[in-house]
Structure formats: C-alpha cells, structure tokens
C-alpha cells in the first residue's frame, strides 16, 4: 500500500483509473474482514476489528466514479455526462460524413474502412492515388502501399471533435484528481489497516500450518520445565511432506520418523545429549529450539498431548560450521566468538543451544573450555541444551544436581542408530561401529580396538549391558502403559454401555406408559360412545357391560407390572425437579421453567402463564451449556410459545398411528393455550384424510374442522379449531 500512496502523493493525487484498482481492492478486503469480524466473540478478535477503520465512504464514492470495467462512469458528474453526450453526437456526425466520402472515393482506397490516426478520422488511400484525395497525411502503412489521409472536407469537423475530446479528458482528470486527494486523506488509515490485515493473515497462516501438521498449541510452563511428547521436526514430519515439496521443492522420499520425547523438570537447567554420529543429537537440539520459538510465536507444534514449553527472554544457538577462509576465521574461532556473545547477554531467562560444545580443537582443552563455559552460564541463571562426544562434559553433567545426561539409542546388532533419546544415560559415540558401517575396512577397525586397549573394551561391554537393561525396562513400561490404556478403554466402554442401557430402559418404560395412557383415553371414549348407544337399547346393556368389565380387568391385569415400574421411574424423575430448573410435559417438546414445587404438583411458566401440573407428568430437561452471546440481526416476528398455531405431520402413517400422533398434538396444543392445530396428512388416496377427519369431528376438544386453504396446503391438510 505505501508505494501506491507515495506515487499518488508525488503526482498530487492525479492517477489513471487502473492505478486506483489495487487501492480499492485493498479497501474492499478491509471492509469484508470488518464485516466478518462483526460478531467476534473473543476480546482479541474484537480488538482487531476495532483496529480496522471503515472505508464505506471511500468505496461509495468509487462506485459513483468508476464503472464495473474500471473506466470513469458517464454520470460521474453532470458536466461529464453532458460532454460525453455531445461528443458521441459529434462523432456520429463525423462518421456519417466520412462514410459518404468513403463511398465517393472508393476507387482510390486500399480498404473500404474508416481509420483513426492521432485521434482523427482518416481514409486509407492507395499511395498511387494520393493526389486524388486532397487532405492531410497522418501516417503510412508498414508496406508503404497505403497512406492515411484526413480529407480536407472533415478537417474542421475533426478539429471540433478533438476540442470536445480534450474538454472531456480534462473533466475526467479533474474527477480522478479529486478522488485521488480523497484517497490520500485516507492514506494513513489504509496503511494501518493493511498492517492489521497482515497480522490477521499471519494468524491464519499459523492456523493452516497447525491443521496440516495436526499440531496443538502447547501448554506454557511457568516454572521453566519442559515436556515434548511425540515431537516431530517440521522438516522431517511426513504429514508436512506435500507442503515441503510445494514450498521447498523437496525431492527426498518419505520415510518414517521416530518422534522425540523429552522431559526436563524445573530444577534441571542443563541437558547434555551424547551418542553416535548421525544418531539424531543435532535433531534433538534443533527440535527443542524450534519448538520453543514456535510456541512463543503462537504456532501449533507437531507434537502430542502433554507438550509443555517455557517462555524464554532470549534463545541463542551455536550450530554448524561457521568457517570463513576469507575472513581468517576457523571453525573453532567462530564457535568461540558466538559462545562469548551468548555468555555476555545471558541472564536468568536465556536459553542456549550448543552443538558439539568444545569440539574442533584439542579434546582436553576443548573439554576444559566447555565445562568452564557451562559453569559460567549456569551461574548466571541461564539454561542450555548441548550435544557432545567429550567424556569430561558428560561427567560434569552427571555430577551436578541441576543437570541431566541423555543418550541417543544405538542398535549394536544392526550398527545403526534408532533415534530414541534416553534420559539418565551418558551415551557412547560408537565411532568404530559407525566407521565400519560407512565402509572402513575391518583390519583398520580391529587395529583401532587394539590401540584403545582392554580397559576400553570392558567399558564398552558394561555400557552395552546397561543400555540393554534400560531397553528392557522401556519395553516393559510401554507394555504396562498399553495394558493400562486398554483397561481404561474397556472401563469407559462398559460405563457407556451401562448408561446406554439405562437410557434405553427408561425410554421403553416411558413409551409403555405413554402408550397405555393413550389406549386408556381411547378406551374411555369408546366406552362412553358404547354406553350412549346401549342406553338407546336397554336389552343389551347388561350383557355388554359385563363383557366390557371382563375385558378391562384382563387389560389392567396384563399391564399392571409394567405400569408400576414405569410409574416408579416417572416418580423418581419427578423428584429430580427443582425450582429454577427446566421441565417439559411428557410427550411434548415444549420446555418451561419450574416456578414452585410441592409433593404432588409443580407450577411452570408456560408462555408467560403460571400453570399447575402433576409432578409425575413432568420430566426434567438437561441444562444446556451457556454460550457467549452473539450479536445477530433481528429475526422476523413468529409465533410465541403457546401461540395459536401448531402443526403435526402424519404423512405416510397408518391411520391408528396417525390418530395417536394427532391426539398427542391436541393435548400439547390445549396445555399450551393453542387456538388451532394444522394436521398435515397429504392427498394420497384420501383414506388417511377421511379417517382423521371422522375422528376429529367427534372429539370433545374440537370446535370445528376445515380443509386448509391453498396457502396452508390445500386439501392435503386439515385445520382444527380448538374449544
């Protein structure tokens, strides 16, 4: 943005339409981000939105000035519209005059078309006929066979056209200059907004990196302790291979990577990593340092759960060969310069990462310098992770309570490193094994062993046995962890199954009780209807009454155990109600707040009305977790809770099932104070519609029924007016 604004400043605001395009594109992007962040739920995102100034006025003025193709609109100003209308009319007149000349002098022309040269209308005249068309020659074709002549008859018309075009250009330039000054006035806001967009873009890049790497934001350790769990360096992580190929043009084949696990308690301020060459020591160093920087920069790191990193005031590194022949610097001298700078700036919150400390010189002198340097750094409160092959440095760390040694694992059977880090061990360099694997002849290896002597051989055997014991312990620990994980997973599965069975049992009991209640209500209606008919025929009354009593007794006896269990479950649920909680009537989806309770009844706030219900007819509703309020556009008004309009859809149901659903909806509508109910049954064969309407006509809670009008579903729905 700044170079664009600087160029506009130098020109005094004057610029062509195309030079405003990137500025307006940026302003539109800023407005889009502002709108996107408008319902921001976090203080951080809200702060970003507040930092973005509005550019509605700048964009509104641009829409009045520029057309969709970027050109200046005809109606950008009344004067410009007048000038362009007049210019179009004059061009039409000149074109007609030129067309007439074209017809009259066609024999002398190279092509029967009008051309423009130097913004003036010309005729393409054959060079051999140039004298036959008097006028002003403006140009010649590349072949030289055609000259472009402005006929004398249209010179004055072209002059007038040129004057009008110049006046139109001056008006356009004035409008663009005025808008350019408006852009310059908004320049500081544009620059600040672009900086904010850059910050948001960086945040989005962090999120995208974390998604690709399946990373996690690490915990921040306040006491200085470290914990890396299954950490993978981004340059080695297979999940990032496609990204590396795209960005870094990586060509190496994918291969498995051993993740890094590292624990450094608060009191351990020095980690000394040793082990074989090419065994992964430097990768450990670089992974630890890179993850520390990523955590402080807000990047998700490709690591597992439990990753925890401290915050450092400075992170300094001395890694690699810094030899410079032209500046008379050796590898060792360059290393010493860097170590001196690190020590000079070290404090209690500094982290130093040193690869092969004390190397590239005499081992005795290098060891002494390394130990002395580490003592000075620890004395100043700093922390360090170093790699080394020097025994003196390993012994120094082993003898301090604030330091810990760690060794890179090496497989003696294969002669290859396994890239696993083992804390508590001083690793061996395995120089002879690595040399043998890289092609050094066997006699040379054997002679080296002779030179090292018997003492070296015994020490190698002892350290090999210690590493083997450690590996067996690690395997047993891994097996125990796996067994513990399986046991935990099985316990969780059983608990989930138990909870699921309990929910299913409660649901079945509720369905049984609800089904019985509906059957009882239906039976009561049928008995009432039968009694009404029997009263008209007294001779059948005694026989029918006896049969009904026997049938009812048989149904009650069969349902009694299930109903008792369902009633007990309902009573237990009713006891879970409390004032202030939410509950709903069984079989209804409407929830309401509990206002008051006694042993048998509950008072609910239903649609603003205080209503009393038996506690056993209610069930508690689980409290939903509260979510932060989100600013939303006002919704169009709709029916309030307990309003007059309700609907039940029974399309595709059998008639008995549909009647049950409608009965349930009628009960809910009556309890909620509804005035009507819309029953959607579809058209079909008409049997479902006719059966439902016959049932509803005799219902004691129904005042009237009618087919829905075309807007409400036509004859595929029935409107039920309630008493």
CATH number where 92 lies = 1.10.1420.10
Task: Match 């914990």 to its residue by tokens.
Answer: 227
The average pLDDT across 312-317 equals 91
584/704 same-domain check: no
296/331 same-domain check: yes
- In percent, the amount of the chain with pLDDT more than 90 equals 19
Domain range enclosing 34: 2-55+186-205
Asked if residue 316 is part of any domain, the answer here is yes
Residue 53 has pLDDT above 90, yes or no: yes
387/255 same-domain check: yes
Asked if residue 419 is part of any domain, the answer here is yes
Could you give the 3-state DSSP secondary structure of residue 501?
Answer: helix
First to last CA, the chain: 71
What span, in angstroms and rounded, lies between the C-alpha atoms of 579 and 596?
A: 6
294/192 same-domain check: no
pLDDT band at 412 (very low <50, low <70, confident <90, very high): low
- Give the pLDDT score at 38: 84
The average pLDDT across 404-424 equals 69
Which is more confident, 564 or 220? 220
Asked if residue 159 is part of any domain, the answer here is yes
Query: For the range 515-523, what are the long-range contacts, defined as Cβ-Cβ under 8 Å and sequence gap of 24 or more?
Result: 516/559, 516/562, 516/563, 516/566, 518/660, 518/663, 518/664, 521/663, 522/663, 523/552, 523/555
- In percent, the amount of the chain with pLDDT more than 70 equals 79
- Give the pLDDT score at 468: 63
Pairing state of beta strands 676-680 and 717-722? antiparallel
Residue 361 has pLDDT above 80, yes or no: no
Lowest mean pLDDT among 107-121, 353-367, 545-559: 545-559
Asked if residue 456 is part of any domain, the answer here is no
Pairing state of beta strands 314-318 and 350-354? parallel
Asked if residue 466 is part of any domain, the answer here is no
Residue 574 near residue 618 (C-beta atoms within 8 A): yes
Lowest mean pLDDT among 273-277, 296-300, 502-506: 502-506
Secondary structure of 650-674 in HEC code, one letter for each residue: CCCCCHHHHHHHHHHHHHHHHHCCC
Q: Which residues contact 173 (CB under 8 A, 6 or more apart)?
A: 14
406/369 same-domain check: yes
Question: In the listed set 205, 240, 264, which residue is the last one of a domain according to the structure?
Answer: 205
Order of all β-strands in the sheet with 609-614: 609-614, 601-606, 591-597, 582-585, 618-621
pLDDT band at 549 (very low <50, low <70, confident <90, very high): very low
Lowest mean pLDDT among 74-88, 185-199, 265-279, 304-318: 265-279
Residue 160 near residue 188 (C-beta atoms within 8 A): no
Q: Which of 448, 449, 403 is nearest to 426 (CA)?
A: 403
The average pLDDT across 186-201 equals 94
409/299 same-domain check: yes
- Give the pLDDT score at 181: 93
pLDDT band at 473 (very low <50, low <70, confident <90, very high): confident
Residue 229 near residue 269 (C-beta atoms within 8 A): no
Residue 671 has pLDDT above 80, yes or no: no
What span, in angstroms and rounded, lies between the C-alpha atoms of 394 and 379?
A: 18
Q: Which of 238, 344, 221 is nearest to 292 (CA)?
A: 221
What span, in angstroms and rounded, lies between the C-alpha atoms of 318 and 63?
A: 57
Residue 31 near residue 197 (C-beta atoms within 8 A): no
230/329 same-domain check: yes
User: What domain count does the chain have?
Assistant: 5
pTM check: above 0.75: no
Asked if residue 457 is part of any domain, the answer here is no
For residue range 230-239, list pLDDT tens digits in order: 899 998 888 8
Give the torsion through C-alpha atoms of 204, 205, 207, 213, to 10 deg. 160
pLDDT band at 432 (very low <50, low <70, confident <90, very high): low
For residue range 234-265, list pLDDT tens digits in order: 988 888 888 888 888 887 777 778 888 888 88
Which helix (H) or strand (E) segment is 609 a member of? strand 609-614
Phi, psi of 536 (to 5 degrees): -80, -15
- Give the pLDDT score at 476: 80
Lowest mean pLDDT among 70-74, 561-565, 628-632, 714-718: 628-632
Tokens of 289: 């340092």
Lowest mean pLDDT among 17-26, 32-41, 295-304, 609-618: 609-618
Half-sphere exposure (CA, 13 Å, Cβ side) for 288?
Answer: 33
Tokens of 80: 């410009």
Asked if residue 582 is part of any domain, the answer here is yes
CATH number where 714 lies = 3.30.1370.110
What span, in angstroms and rounded, lies between the C-alpha atoms of 317 and 339?
A: 9
553/685 same-domain check: no
CATH number where 616 lies = 2.30.30.30
Half-sphere exposure (CA, 13 Å, Cβ side) for 561?
Answer: 1
661/563 same-domain check: no
Residue 101 has pLDDT above 60, yes or no: yes
- Give the pLDDT score at 715: 82
Tokens of 581: 């909680």
- Give the pLDDT score at 434: 57
Which is more confident, 607 or 378? 378
Residue 561 has pLDDT above 60, yes or no: no
227/345 same-domain check: yes
Residue 720 near residue 668 (C-beta atoms within 8 A): no
The average pLDDT across 483-502 equals 82
Question: In the listed set 605, 621, 637, which residue is the last one of a domain according to the structure?
Answer: 621
Asked if residue 62 is part of any domain, the answer here is no
What span, in angstroms and rounded, lies between the C-alpha atoms of 103 and 331?
A: 88
45/120 same-domain check: no
Question: In the listed set 418, 440, 462, which residue is the last one of a domain according to the structure?
Answer: 440
Which helix (H) or strand (E) segment is 223 a member of? none
389/366 same-domain check: yes
């Amino acid at each position: 943005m700044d170079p664009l604004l600087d160029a506009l400043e130098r020109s005094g605001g004057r610029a062509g339409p195309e030079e405003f395009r990137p500025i307006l594109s940026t302003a539109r992007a800023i407005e889009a981000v502002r709108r996107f962040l408008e319902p921001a739920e976090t203080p951080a995102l809200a702060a970003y939105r507040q930092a973005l100034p509005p550019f509605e006025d700048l964009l509104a003025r641009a829409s009045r000035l520029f057309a969709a193709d970027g050109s200046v609109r005809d109606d950008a100003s009344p004067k410009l519209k007048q000038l362009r209308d007049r210019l179009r009319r004059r061009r039409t007149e000149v074109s007609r005059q030129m067309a007439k000349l074209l017809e009259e002098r066609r024999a002398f022309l190279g092509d029967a078309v009008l051309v423009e040269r130097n913004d003036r209308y010309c005729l393409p005249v054959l060079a051999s006929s140039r004298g036959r068309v008097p006028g002003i020659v403006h140009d010649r074709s590349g072949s030289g066979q055609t000259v472009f002549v402005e006929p004398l008859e249209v010179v004055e018309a072209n002059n007038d056209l040129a004057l009008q075009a110049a006046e139109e250009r001056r008006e356009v330039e004035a409008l663009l200059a005025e808008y350019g000054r408006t852009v310059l006035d908004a320049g500081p806001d544009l620059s600040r907004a672009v900086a904010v967009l850059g910050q948001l873009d960086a945040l989005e890049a962090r999120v995208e990196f974390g998604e690709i790497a399946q990373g996690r934001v690490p915990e921040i350790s306040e006491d200085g302790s470290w914990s890396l769990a299954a950490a993978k360096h981004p340059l080695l992580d297979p999940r990032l291979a496609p990204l590396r190929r795209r960005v870094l043009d990586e060509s190496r084949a994918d291969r498995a990577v051993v993740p890094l696990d590292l624990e450094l308690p608060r009191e351990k301020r020095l980690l000394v990593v040793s082990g074989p060459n090419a065994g992964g020591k430097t990768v450990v160093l670089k992974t630890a340092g890179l993850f520390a920087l990523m955590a402080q920069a807000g990047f998700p790191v490709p690591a597992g759960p439990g990753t925890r990193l401290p915050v450092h005031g400075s992170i300094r590194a001395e890694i690699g060969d810094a030899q410079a022949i032209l500046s008379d610097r050796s590898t060792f001298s360059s290393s010493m310069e860097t170590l001196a700078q690190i020590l000079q700036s070290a404090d209690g919150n500094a982290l130093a990462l040193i690869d092969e400390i004390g190397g590239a010189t005499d081992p005795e002198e290098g060891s002494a310098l390394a130990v002395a340097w580490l003592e000075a750094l620890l004395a100043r409160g700093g922390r360090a992770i170093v790699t080394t092959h020097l025994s003196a440095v390993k012994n120094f760390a082993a003898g301090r309570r604030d330091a810990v040694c760690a060794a890179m694992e090496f497989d003696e059977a294969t002669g290859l490193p396994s890239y696993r880090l083992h804390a508590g061990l001083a690793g061996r360099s395995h120089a002879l094994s690595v040399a043998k694997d890289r092609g050094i002849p066997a006699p040379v290896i054997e002679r080296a062993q002779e030179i090292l002597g018997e003492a070296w051989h015994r020490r190698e055997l002892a350290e090999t046995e210690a590493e083997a014991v450690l590996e067996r312990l690690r395997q047993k620990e891994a097996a125990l962890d796996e067994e513990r994980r399986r046991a935990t997973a099985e316990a969780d599965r059983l608990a989930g199954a138990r909870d699921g069975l309990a929910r299913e049992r409660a649901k079945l009991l509720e369905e049984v009780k609800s089904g019985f209640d509906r059957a009882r209500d239906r039976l009561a209606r049928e008995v009432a209807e039968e009694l009404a008919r029997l009263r008209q025929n007294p001779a059948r009354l005694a026989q029918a009454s006896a049969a009904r009593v026997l049938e009812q007794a048989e149904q009650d006896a069969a349902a009694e155990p299930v109903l008792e269990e369902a009633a007990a479950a309902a009573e237990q649920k009713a006891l879970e109600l409390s004032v202030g909680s939410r509950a709903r009537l069984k079989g209804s989806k409407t929830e309401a707040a509990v206002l008051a309770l006694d042993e048998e009844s509950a008072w609910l706030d239903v649609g603003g009305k205080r209503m009393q219900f038996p506690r056993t007819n209610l069930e508690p509703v689980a409290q939903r977790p509260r979510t932060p309020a989100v600013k939303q556009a006002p919704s169009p008004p709709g029916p309030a809770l307990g309003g007059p309009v309700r609907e039940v859809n029974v399309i595709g149901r059998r008639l008995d099932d549909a009647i049950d659903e409608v009965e349930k909806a009628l009960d809910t509508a009556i309890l909620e104070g509804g005035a009507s109910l819309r029953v959607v049954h579809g058209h079909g064969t008409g049997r479902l519609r006719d059966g439902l309407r016959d049932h509803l006509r005799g219902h004691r809670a129904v005042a009237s029924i009618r087919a829905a009008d075309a807007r409400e579903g036509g004859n595929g729905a029935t409107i039920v007016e309630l008493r």
